[in-house]
């Protein structure tokens, strides 16, 4: 959940590192630091040509950047880190990089060293002196112990000794022409360019400089020089690997005039959804080659198991409903963090689908490993090419939403929902549970979805007015049923994540079984109630809440003017098929959370305590 960037090449790299860290700030943002090999003004017979300079500071990257203005702090090899604290408070001392005792070696790390206490005790007994409370600091001291094996050899020893997870990068004044890195279950990629090579946690950090990448697998170590990359297996053998190219461009990782990434990403949804359909849906036909499944295999499926966390879990809940409805295959949905501990039943006719925007969520990764060990075929739905989940799955369906920088998911959610719709239809068609006419009707409507999302976005001002009037409420209940329920859950999650207001998403039918006790004049009920089979029932729930002095905000279908009799505020979404309305209703809910949070002065792109990819348990 921290962010790593490192560079070795021909360019001065201070700004490359700082710029890269800003692009990674969504991964962690409580402190930051850089270390560079800088020309030593005292270089001579007794002093080395290069010296190590470190700048680090608690708080946002800006605080660290302000300390780094000295022009002498520059060089062509350096490392940078933005931290999301796990062990030790977010202070300057605990910020990365961390040094060894000789102060020649510097290390950055994303992950957790689970056996750090034991390692630290041993190292202290051997005379090593620690400065911070972090688990990471054992790494430079361990490397120092093994430096006789060279910088890479020392890193390989670390990989053998530490338990837990980590992406690690180190540099040393003794090896000024190289950077070394290692990966143990935390994301680490290599970026390749003519002017030098990069390590990074995520592609947006270096998209400005390259679109060519190499993935690094678990327990591999890497040595980068200005113009070479060597990857080594756990056993120390050289590994050959082809680079891949991404088609993301740098503007997709910039705000492009929007106030926040989140707002930009909400507005990018028509494009993200269209891109996700592209190549899969054309001329009324659906193509899903990437699934790598023959019609025979699909016909034999007796169960689909979907696992995911957070927002991706809500996409899974929509997936369950459409796959069951259109393809008549039973679907189980689990939170990844629960799945792996509940001894689940899997067999070879069960299709296992993991939904994960980042492709790095540790619980999702652990769940797919569990399912694989039981013989399931794994399909990943992810937004990040080359991510760990993508690499560990039998097939990958990419959502083509472009990089998502805001910590909370928006455009990747609607892209995930689109994949779920396409998959449900595809299975339904192959299993012959959906007629050609119905299939064509749904496809035609899917093709209208980007325009309908755009129509909602064009009326963002109406949502802002409602948010401006309601942001002081302290309890929000989002109610929905059937396809409206995942939207209600997601609406509540968005609101609590970025505004820090207490919000619950609830099945409207369950109101009387408890939550109605919460309802009073400080409560706002958000009813997700487009025209469908449960509209009248939700309307009754709202009336019950209104009778208890709650304020009502309803999302209804275009043309529903009657709602104004019951609701204090309402917003009309374009009409669509019952199964498809969640991909529309979520858009005003994202905007609603956004404007409430802005009213409260929150940092919507980097909400407190959250990180974009959760790579620790």
Shortest distance in whole angstroms from residue 389 CB to ligand F6R: 8
**At 496, is the secondary structure helix, strand, or coil?**
helix
Q: Which residue is nearest to ligand F6R (CB)?
A: 310
Looking at 56, 104, 411, 612, which residue is catalytic?
612
Shortest distance in whole angstroms from residue 412 CB to ligand F6R: 7
Indicate the burial class of 161 (C-beta count within 10 angstroms; 0-12, 13-18, 19 or more). Answer: middle
CA distances from 258 to 279, 281, 383, 412, 438 (A): 29, 31, 22, 18, 40
Shortest distance in whole angstroms from residue 448 CB to ligand F6R: 26
DSSP-derived pairing of the beta strands 502-507 and 475-480? parallel
Alpha-carbon radius of gyration of the chain: 26
Shortest distance in whole angstroms from residue 305 CB to ligand F6R: 16
Nearer CB in complex with ligand F6R: 498/545: 498
User: What residues have CB less than 8 Å from 400, skipping those under 6 apart?
Assistant: 272, 275, 276, 278, 383, 415
Contact assessment for residue 487 and residue 493, using Cβ atoms and an 8 Å cutoff: no
Tokens describing residue 556: 């209804």
Nearer CB in complex with ligand F6R: 7/476: 476
Shortest distance in whole angstroms from residue 612 CB to ligand F6R: 7
For residues 304 and 182, what is the distance between their CA atoms, to the nearest angstrom? 35
* Residue-by-residue DSSP string for 495-517: HHHHH--EEEEEEGGGGGGTGGG
Shortest distance in whole angstroms from residue 611 CB to ligand F6R: 8
- Residue 80: how many CA atoms within 13 Å on its side-chain side? 32
Tokens describing residue 370: 């569990």
Segment holding 229, helix H or strand E: strand 229-232
Shortest distance in whole angstroms from residue 502 CB to ligand F6R: 17
Nearer CB in complex with ligand F6R: 389/463: 389
Residue 77 is among the residues annotated as catalytic for this protein? no
Nearer CB in complex with ligand F6R: 493/511: 493
Q: Where are the beta strands (DSSP E) in 296-401?
A: 303-308, 331-335, 350-356, 377-382, 395-398
Contact assessment for residue 517 and residue 490, using Cβ atoms and an 8 Å cutoff: no
For residues 277 and 416, what is the distance between their CA atoms, to the nearest angstrom? 11
Nearer CB in complex with ligand F6R: 308/350: 308
Tokens describing residue 450: 């980007």
Nearer CB in complex with ligand F6R: 408/463: 408
Cis peptide before 97 (omega within 30 of 0): yes
Shortest distance in whole angstroms from residue 587 CB to ligand F6R: 14
Tokens describing residue 510: 């369950």
Nearer CB in complex with ligand F6R: 425/586: 586
For residues 187 and 192, what is the distance between their CA atoms, to the nearest angstrom? 17
Residue 408 is among the residues annotated as catalytic for this protein? no
Nearer CB in complex with ligand F6R: 277/614: 614
Nearer CB in complex with ligand F6R: 170/390: 390
Query: Among positive and negative, which fits the CA dihedral 600, 606, 607, 609?
Result: negative
Nearest to 408 by CA among 592, 610, 255, 253: 610
Nearer CB in complex with ligand F6R: 358/395: 358
Contact assessment for residue 313 and residue 415, using Cβ atoms and an 8 Å cutoff: no
- The residues that touch ligand F6R, with contacts defined as CB under 6 A, are 309-312, 356-358, 361, 364, 408-409, 493, 497, 613-614
Nearer CB in complex with ligand F6R: 144/605: 605
Residue with tokens 């056993």: 235
CA 304 from chain centre, in angstroms, equals 24
Shortest distance in whole angstroms from residue 367 CB to ligand F6R: 11
Looking at 2, 13, 38, 408, which residue is catalytic?
2
Indicate the burial class of 500 (C-beta count within 10 angstroms; 0-12, 13-18, 19 or more). Answer: middle
CA distances from 142 to 110, 147, 181, 222 (A): 17, 9, 15, 18
Query: Among positive and negative, which fits the CA dihedral 131, 16, 37, 55?
Result: negative
Q: Which residues pair with 79 in a beta bridge?
A: 6, 35
Shortest distance in whole angstroms from residue 139 CB to ligand F6R: 26
Nearest to 230 by CA among 174, 181, 270, 164: 181
Shortest distance in whole angstroms from residue 614 CB to ligand F6R: 5
**At 580, is the secondary structure helix, strand, or coil?**
helix
Instruction: List the catalytic residues.
Output: 2, 612
């Amino acid at each position: 959940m921290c962010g790593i960037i490192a560079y070795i090449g021909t360019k001065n790299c201070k700004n490359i590192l700082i710029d890269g860290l800003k692009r990674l700030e969504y991964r962690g943002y409580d402190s930051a630091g850089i270390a560079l090999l800088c020309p030593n003004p005292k270089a001579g017979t007794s002093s080395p040509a290069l010296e190590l300079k470190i700048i680090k500071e608690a708080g946002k990257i800006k605080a660290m950047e302000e300390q780094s203005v000295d022009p002498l702090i520059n060089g062509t090899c350096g490392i940078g880190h933005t931290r999301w604290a796990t062990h030790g408070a977010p202070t300057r001392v605990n910020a990365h990089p961390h040094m060894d005792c000789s102060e020649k070696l510097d290390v950055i790390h994303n992950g957790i060293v689970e056996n750090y206490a034991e390692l630290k005790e041993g190292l202290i007994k051997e005379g090593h002196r620690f400065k911070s409370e972090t688990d990471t600091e054992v790494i430079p001291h361990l490397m120092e112990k093994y430096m006789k094996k060279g910088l890479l050899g020392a890193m390989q020893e670390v990989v053998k000794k530490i338990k837990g997870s980590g992406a690690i990068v180190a540099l040393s004044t003794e090896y000024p022409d190289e950077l070394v890195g290692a990966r143990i279950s935390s994301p680490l990629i290599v970026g390749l360019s003519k002017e030098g090579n990069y390590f990074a946690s995520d592609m947006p950090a270096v998209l400005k400089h390259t679109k060519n990448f190499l993935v690094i697998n678990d327990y591999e170590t890497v040595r980068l020089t200005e113009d070479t990359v060597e990857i080594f297996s756990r056993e120390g053998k050289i590994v050959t690997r082809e680079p891949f190219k991404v088609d993301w461009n740098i503007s997709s990782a910039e705000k492009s005039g929007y106030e926040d990434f989140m707002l930009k990403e909400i507005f990018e949804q028509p494009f993200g959804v269209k891109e996700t359909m592209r190549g899969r849906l054309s001329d009324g036909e659906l193509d899903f080659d990437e699934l790598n499944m023959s019609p025979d295999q699909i016909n034999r499926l007796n169960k689909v198991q979907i696992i995911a966390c957070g927002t991706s879990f809500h996409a899974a809940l929509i997936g369950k409903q459409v796959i069951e409805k259109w393809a008549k295959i039973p679907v189980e949905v689990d939170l990844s963090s629960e799945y792996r501990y509940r001894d689940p039943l899997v067999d070879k006719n069960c299709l296992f689908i993991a939904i994960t925007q980042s492709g790095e969520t540790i619980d999702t990764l652990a769940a797919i490993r569990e399912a694989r060990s039981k013989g399931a075929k794994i399909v990943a739905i992810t937004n990040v090419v080359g991510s760990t989940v993508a690499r560990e799955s039998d097939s990958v369906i990419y959502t083509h939403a472009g990089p998502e920088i805001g910590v909370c998911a928006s455009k990747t959610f609607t892209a995930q929902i689109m994949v779920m719709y396409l998959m449900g239809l595809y299975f339904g068609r192959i299993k012959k549970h959906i007629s050609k006419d119905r299939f064509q009707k749904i496809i035609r409507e899917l093709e209208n979805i980007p325009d309908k999302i755009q129509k909602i976005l064009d009326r963002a001002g109406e949502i802002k007015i409602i948010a401006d009037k309601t942001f002081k409420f302290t309890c929000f209940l989002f109610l929905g049923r059937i396809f409206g329920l995942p939207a209600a859950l997601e609406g509540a999650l968005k609101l609590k994540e970025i505004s820090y207001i207490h919000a619950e998403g609830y099945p409207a039918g369950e109101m009387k079984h408890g939550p109605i006790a919460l309802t009073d004049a400080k409560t706002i009920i958000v009813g997700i109630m487009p025209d469908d089979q449960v509209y009248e029932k939700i309307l009754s729930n709202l009336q019950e809440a209104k009778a208890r002095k709650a304020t009502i905000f309803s999302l209804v279908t275009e043309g529903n003017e009657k709602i104004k009799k019951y609701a204090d505020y309402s917003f009309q979404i374009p009409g669509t098929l019952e199964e498809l309305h969640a991909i529309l209703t979520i858009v005003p809910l994202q905007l609603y959370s956004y404007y409430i949070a802005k009213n409260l002065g929150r940092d919507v792109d980097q909400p407190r305590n959250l990180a974009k990819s959760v790579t620790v348990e």
